[in-house]
Structure 1
Amino acid sequence: MARLDPQWFIDWADDKIVNHSRRVILTFLVITVVFGAGLSAVSTESGTQQFAEEVPAEEAFTRISEEFSPRFQEGTGSTQLIQRAPNVLTRGELLRMLEAQKRLSDRADLRVVQTASAATIVAQTLDPDADALDQQIRALELATDGEVAKAVRENADNPRFVGLLADDFNPTEPSATATIGVVTHSIPLAEEEGAGQGGDSPLSPIQQKAVRIVATVGGDISVFGSGIIADEFGTVITDSLLIVVPAAVLFIVVFLVVAYRDLVDLLLGTSALVMALVWTFGFLGLANIPFNQVMIAVPPLLLAVGIDFGIHAVNRYREDRADGYGVDDAMRKATDQLLVAFFIVTGTTVIGFLSNLVSDLTPIRDFGVVAAIGIVFTFFVFGVFLPAAKVEVDRLRERYPIPTFSQSPLGREGSSLGAVLRIGVVPALRAPAVVIVIALVLSGSAMWYATGVDTEFGQEDFLPPAEAPAYLTVLPEPFAPGEYSVVADIEFLEERFSSSQSGVVTVYLEGRATDDSFLQELDRVAQDPPETFISVDRRADSTSILTVIRDEASGNEEFARVVARNDRDGDGIPDRNLVEVYDALVLTDSAERGLQYISANYETARVDYRVKADADDDAVVADTQEMADRFRTEGTATGAIVVFDAISDLILDSAIQSLVLSMLGTGAFLIFVYWWTEGRPSLALANLVPILIAVTFVAGTMRLSGISFNAFTATVLALTIGLGVDYSVHIVHRFIDERVDHDLETALDRTVRGTGGALAGSMLTTVFGLGVLVLAVLSILGQFGLLTAASIVYSFLASILVLPSALALWDRLSGNDPVVPLGKPDHDTGGVATAD
């Protein structure tokens, strides 16, 4: 079958690199300026809301927000004041809470509508006429400690009062170690509300001011709310980048100094790295793709691949220079081999990244696209620009006294590194099949072990941990991160207020809301709820349009007559002319509340159910779906718990689908490329062996380390293929190149010493460059860095220890005579020795 000779493309690139190096350099600099203009347009997107896009449960949740929220009116938002003390029910601590409430209420810019707290209830118990905060403060100031204690005991059975106190509330000798105050603000109504939260909130400026105001009261009162959460979502990206990027640069520069051992080459390599980053993030701005938390991993990934390309390019060129070639010939010889290897690595890595396009989660898809584009840019920068710049610099060195340090290649013959790298050659020559069998058994065991890896998704994943690592607390400015309290407050509330905390799930109902039996159906479905639902007298604790109708009828005689007139069986639930009932409700004081549970056109409705705080999320989701299925009306289970659980399932699906697609795509690409470039498609099988081993070992490491699949680590298995294939491709391609002129043993030996040396330098630099992600403020970003660094180590070890045996087996099974080099005349047949 005729095929286009790839050597034509290589010769064309060689000509541009060697004969038109200055033109190439100028072209790349101009492109850098163009992409640099896009840097200022890069926007950021943070939080969990972006992950919820296109999730069916989230779409239902958003429709609820759109249909059941009063439009063109002011909305409300709340701020929680979390007070901690040995006893928050003492007169002094109660006064402190009331003072905090008053100082917030006195600020017009905080738009406070009302406040509530245990202190308010105690003060009004002491003085029932104390409606204003200053009156409540006065009542407490005039009361004795005994009177305060008596007022607390009187409210021991008050659910509102007890619900604001920690679980350790002791009514006998009134004490509690924590309490919650609630401040309600009037805010512009958001266009829509979702289960997740983004990195901006109309409450952010209000709650930041509240933090400063409450601090003036003294004591231990912290401010908590959606605005504080949004601020931490936004700042964690900047803080992580401020720590990760400088640390990565520091490690990379140190290792590049060791790898290049020449100042000029070091400057060329780092300039190329900067250029690749500018191109990628400039594209981000020009394409209007927001930078999200997952993309914090993009700079280290691009640095990892760029370092690898740079070390290989310089090291191979130095090998050819050491063999006596001049500048031009050495670069032509180096790029002849490396451009093909770089192309294969780029293709497989891009496939690994683009496999994330099958994900139903938008941030993961965006990450895959940006990372893939970045890898393509890296290919051009290090495959064309760096060689051209190296040629130009070395020509100048021949004409001018530019300082030159070491130009010897890594892993040269006789070096200690070269001896260590040969460790996989001896077993490959003696018992390659045994090595492969052992490797596959270990790989299979790791994959079996990895089946126990969990999946998780939650708001806390995108926020710093409750306790910051010690190294973060000692960092100087500007690297020192801000103070983060959200996760600590969330954990505190879950631990100390568990009895009063409960989750809420929602069933969204479409159609039949005006059918005569609809309200009775709401009542019927609530009977005998599932185990995870909170129940009262064997009925689900729920809120719906039926709840609003009952509440209004209990205090409004005129409306009660409308209900009775349309209640044929006298059970208090209207069962005919429901439109008349709804229309009558709209004319009452409960109109606004009613429109939160039935749409203005009466076509859709919602029912909120309270679920137990300690219930397993999977069980809650299953039970919510069961409740939705009980309705004859089309019901959709939704709510934050349901949405986050759905996202968790999608994360696992994304990890599996991208892994399968990446493996299949990589395999097909390698088969095509090796057929196109070498005429030996079966080489792809040998190439895939170390990749398979690396993937299974990374999966096993996840379970061993207690790391779950999350928004970050969901991409790591596909990335292992994309990054790990880099190491095996360089070995395979160098082996084929060496096998043309040498027997099997010599070809393997020269391959692992030459390319293996560059791989070792690349591996160490990449591992530390990616490993700095463990320093990030986000703990799951650190998990991603750990796993990615592990994947690099596994890929390197598999390429050095196992791949030589795979190549030896391929060499024998493909019909080669180990003595007759490939491409040399075969005197027995009169032809040329071939592989396939």
Structure 2
Amino acid sequence: MSRFSLEGAIEWTNYWITQRSGVVIALFLVLTLVFAGGLGDIELDEGTEGFAEDVPAQQALEDVNQQFEPPFEDDQPTTQLIQRGDNVVTQEEMVRMLTLQQRLEDDPTVRVEDSSSFAETIALSIDPTAETPGEQADAIEAATRGEVRETVRTTIEEQPEVEGLLSDDVNAQDPSASATIVTVTHTERGDPGGDLDRIDHIVDSVGGDVIVFGQGVFENEFEAVIGDSLALVIPVVVVLILGFLIFAFRDPFDLLLGLVALAMTIVWTFGFTGLAGIPFSEMLIAVPPLLLAIGVDFGIHAVNRYREERTGDRSPGEAMSIATHQLLVAFFIVTGTTVIGFGANMVSDLPPIQEFGVVASVGVVFTFLIFGVFMPAAKVAMDRAREGRPIPAFGSSPLGSEDSILGRVLPAGAIVGRKAPMAILVVALLVTAGGGLSATNVDTTFDDEDFLPPDEEPGYLEYLPESVQPQEYTITATLNYLEENFASGDDDQVTIYVEGPLRHDYALESINRAGQDPPPSIVTEDGEAQSESIIDVIETQAENDPEFAALVERNDLNDNGVPDRNLEEIYDALLASESGDQASQYITDDRRSTQVMYSVEADADDEQVTEDINELADDYRLDATPTGEIVVFQEVSDLILDSAIESLILALVFTAVFLLVIYYVLEGHFALGIANLVPIVVSVALLAGSMPILGIPFNVLTGTILPISIGVGVAYSVHITHRFIDEYNVTADAYESLLTTLRGTGGALTASMLTTFGGAGSLMLALTPILGQFGVLMTISVVYSYLMAIVVLPPTLLVWARYFG
């Protein structure tokens, strides 16, 4: 785009803003109605599932879950009842639990198909004919206390598998346990967790300390935490922004106009989200505060610059034409760099991060249109309507005038920079290097806990009105309780999903050899990996069936217990035997897929486990894919780090190119783009270096912060640089131009920094850790960008003027 065509575009836009403002206002209001229609189409997407959609380990895990179901089980939803107390294996407590099970099964709204518990096992040991939970409760109640205690003792000793139903503090000699888990299976229709309110009511009717836990609770609370977080964050953002607007505008008419523009920004952005079919995830909670802050930034600059021009008794049209002639260019540059910053996240391999980048980028473009075109047009129309009418003028002076406090403080960067510009730039270089060095220690995480509400409610909630109090959350507390009181299971196991022709003679030998001398995090037994596979089922059946043992021996050429020929015959005989149901957990009917589950050291970190299981999988002759929660979460963590680095590099490169090109087009100087980047690079390095110091890792949301900080931070530098160039072209005095810029634009910059600070800081009130951490980093990023723009940028521009001006 040449400067001539850019000038033409600005003049054309100015014509519509100043001469046809009514048409512009009508058009934007119509578009607002169109986008408002999409708000009703927004769907919620809670939880972590969306982040792992395209991860190979997750796809393998889905295949495993689909193809290898345990015998007699299906995908019926379940709810867990966690009974707690001084001793849950007493006669009274087991009767209480069985009574609860019976009441749940009797209630048609809960849709219970079956339930199982430790109390049921004890009751059947006492009376094998007791079929229902009610009959089982009667059997325990009819027995003597001594008989019940002895049955509990012998059951724990002789059936160690039932210990998984009891807490880790179980004592078999003096029968006691502080907690037990009851599993309730529902029919497939209806809510996955059954009617939760009804279950809670039945639990209360029985008494005792029982926690209701399961998929229904998860879905209910995951969905509620999004609404509750928005209910906490948005009002705070509105109040803060309202306060800043009052301070910046000091005019109720301008304040009302600013609020209308902000509301339009949100309606346009999330109306687009609904129309585009993009689900609203927890990540998108961060978008409204950011857009509101950016919108206020634009609004303050527009009104402040307009007021500067109105001081000379110019008409509203003339003043706005001069103001927008400069601001539209600055807004365009800021919008371009901010879109690059947000949009860089679209290169991520994680769909929710891509969607976050899309929604935020589109929202920034909408913000530019509303605050760059609609608001100036509405301001012109409003001020024309106020002329000649007995309406008070209110506050109309610009922020940062020479006599104000800001006007005396803000030029400090230029004053100090004039004396030793190169020294300040050397210090900035050293600070950048230090921040980059510190950033190498940033951790990367991905965990359910990032999305869960807090274990304990934050203290500030008690001061909120009851109408906005969030619901009571139990997920995190329950998960912590289970982790602390019950032996872990799946967390200590990973799976290798094997695909290929399992009929080939080498198939089972390949699986067996892969487990020889495994990597260190894999649990071993006699030098071999401790695993569960179709080989174990073959060995078990051979021990109990002489005829099958003979078949295996005839086809075991190296006499190691693993058949290596005629495998089709082996599989047919195995599946037809009493071990057939167990074998179906490990091999598919078409003999093309199998799973091998390996035990891993409980104290090994996820990264080491994932690295080791990948190494083990490489030893398979067939196509082997490691999977399991440990592997899936680690792969997502790796993708988060890769995305953070890729998007940062992409944002830096594209922002640099954009600034170089735009400043060459506008001013004929590539070097201005480089000068604009200097404070941004320093602030990004400082931000990345602050993360390990604050103990904040890269997660799915904080991993987007670095490119976003480039986009948001460039705004501060662009406004100062662009205003400086306009002044410098008139005065040819770099120092005086900087003083004028920092007093005028610097005042608006300070106000916009405070609004962005408040908007981003409000995210710290959200109920999920990732949003709070993102809020912390955004507020730090805003402060760094602002300080670098008024401290590092002035000496940079003075150096530019000395060598290139």
- Provide TM-score, normalisation by structure 1: 0.91
CA distance in 1, matches of 2:270, 2:232: 18
Write the letter of the residue equivalent to 1:63. Answer: D
> Are 1:181 and 2:182 an aligned pair?
yes
CA contact (8 A) 2:491 2:630 kept: no
**350-359 or 474-483: bigger deviation:** 474-483
Secondary structure in 1 matching 2:75: strand
> Are 1:371 and 2:360 an aligned pair?
yes
1:328-477 → structure 2 map (5 Å cutoff): 328-477=317-466
**261-270 or 619-628: bigger deviation:** 619-628
Deviations 1:151-180 (A, max 9, x none): 333234332232222222233333222222
CA distance in 1, matches of 2:220, 2:762: 24
Deviation at 1:23, TM superposition (A): 0.7
Deviation at 1:541, TM superposition (A): 4.0
Residues 97, 70 of structure 1: alpha-carbon distance in 2 compared, 3 angstrom cutoff: closer
Match of 1:243 among 207, 232, 237: 232
Write the letter of the residue equivalent to 1:122. Answer: I
> Are 1:689 and 2:678 an aligned pair?
yes
CA distance in 1, matches of 2:72, 2:31: 48
Which residue does the alignment assign to 2:20? 20
CA contact (8 A) 2:507 2:621 kept: no
Match of 1:719 among 708, 719, 735: 708
Residues 138, 615 of structure 1: alpha-carbon distance in 2 compared, 3 angstrom cutoff: farther
Which residue does the alignment assign to 2:757? 767
CA distance in 2, matches of 1:340, 1:612: 59
CA distance in 1, matches of 2:520, 2:560: 27
1:172-251 → structure 2 map (5 Å cutoff): 172-187=173-188, 203-205=192-194, 209-251=198-240
Which residue does the alignment assign to 2:154? 154
CA contact (8 A) 1:74 1:187 kept: no
Write the letter of the residue equivalent to 1:769. Answer: G
**390-399 or 530-539: bigger deviation:** 530-539
Match of 2:508 among 509, 515, 519: 519
CA distance in 2, matches of 1:513, 1:390: 74
**691-700 or 145-154: bigger deviation:** 145-154
Deviation at 1:559, TM superposition (A): 6.1
Secondary structure in 2 matching 1:630: coil
Deviation at 1:733, TM superposition (A): 0.4
Secondary structure in 1 matching 2:206: coil
Secondary structure in 2 matching 1:425: helix
CA contact (8 A) 1:204 1:231 kept: no
Which residue does the alignment assign to 1:825? none
Which residue does the alignment assign to 2:287? 298
Which residue does the alignment assign to 1:80? 80
Deviation at 1:563, TM superposition (A): 5.1
**89-98 or 326-335: bigger deviation:** 89-98
CA distance in 1, matches of 2:191, 2:591: 30
CA contact (8 A) 2:551 2:570 kept: yes
Which residue does the alignment assign to 1:659? 648
Deviations 1:326-353 (A, max 9, x none): 2111111100110000000000001111
Residues 240, 798 of structure 1: alpha-carbon distance in 2 compared, 3 angstrom cutoff: same
CA distance in 2, matches of 1:38, 1:612: 50
> Are 1:811 and 2:798 an aligned pair?
no
Secondary structure in 2 matching 1:290: coil
Write the letter of the residue equivalent to 1:149. Answer: R
CA distance in 1, matches of 2:379, 2:156: 80
CA distance in 1, matches of 2:90, 2:46: 41
**606-615 or 588-597: bigger deviation:** 588-597
Deviation at 1:363, TM superposition (A): 0.6
Identity %: 50
Match of 2:307 among 311, 315, 318: 318
Residues 620, 524 of structure 1: alpha-carbon distance in 2 compared, 3 angstrom cutoff: same
Write the letter of the residue equivalent to 1:255. Answer: F
Write the letter of the residue equivalent to 2:320. Answer: M
CA contact (8 A) 1:318 1:407 kept: yes
Residues 482, 556 of structure 1: alpha-carbon distance in 2 compared, 3 angstrom cutoff: farther
Deviation at 1:110, TM superposition (A): 4.3
Secondary structure in 1 matching 2:497: strand
Deviation at 1:441, TM superposition (A): 1.1
Deviation at 1:187, TM superposition (A): 3.2
Deviation at 1:295, TM superposition (A): 0.8
Deviation at 1:83, TM superposition (A): 2.0
CA distance in 2, matches of 1:343, 1:406: 28
Residues 307, 447 of structure 1: alpha-carbon distance in 2 compared, 3 angstrom cutoff: same
Aligned pair count reads 803
Deviation at 1:205, TM superposition (A): 3.5
Deviations 1:479-510 (A, max 9, x none): 22122111111111212224667433110111
CA distance in 2, matches of 1:305, 1:378: 8
CA contact (8 A) 1:494 1:501 kept: no
Write the letter of the residue equivalent to 2:492. Answer: G
Residues 778, 642 of structure 1: alpha-carbon distance in 2 compared, 3 angstrom cutoff: same
Pairwise CA RMSD of aligned residues? 2.5
CA distance in 2, matches of 1:701, 1:181: 46
Instruction: List alignment gaps of at least 5 residues for structure 2.
Output: none
Match of 2:617 among 600, 608, 628: 628
Deviation at 1:222, TM superposition (A): 0.8
**740-749 or 242-251: bigger deviation:** 740-749
Which residue does the alignment assign to 1:171? 172
> Are 1:606 and 2:607 an aligned pair?
no
CA distance in 2, matches of 1:352, 1:83: 50
Secondary structure in 2 matching 1:182: strand
Which residue does the alignment assign to 1:145? 145
Residues 79, 526 of structure 1: alpha-carbon distance in 2 compared, 3 angstrom cutoff: farther
Which residue does the alignment assign to 1:50? 50
Deviation at 1:798, TM superposition (A): 0.8
Secondary structure in 1 matching 2:372: helix
Which residue does the alignment assign to 1:822? none
CA distance in 2, matches of 1:255, 1:69: 59
Secondary structure in 1 matching 2:468: coil
Deviations 1:760-812 (A, max 9, x none): 11111111111111111112101111111111111111111111111111111
Residues 234, 24 of structure 1: alpha-carbon distance in 2 compared, 3 angstrom cutoff: same
CA distance in 1, matches of 2:499, 2:193: 35
Match of 1:787 among 764, 771, 777: 777
Which residue does the alignment assign to 2:62? 62
CA contact (8 A) 2:521 2:608 kept: yes
Which residue does the alignment assign to 2:668? 679
Match of 2:471 among 482, 490, 501: 482
> Are 1:616 and 2:617 an aligned pair?
no
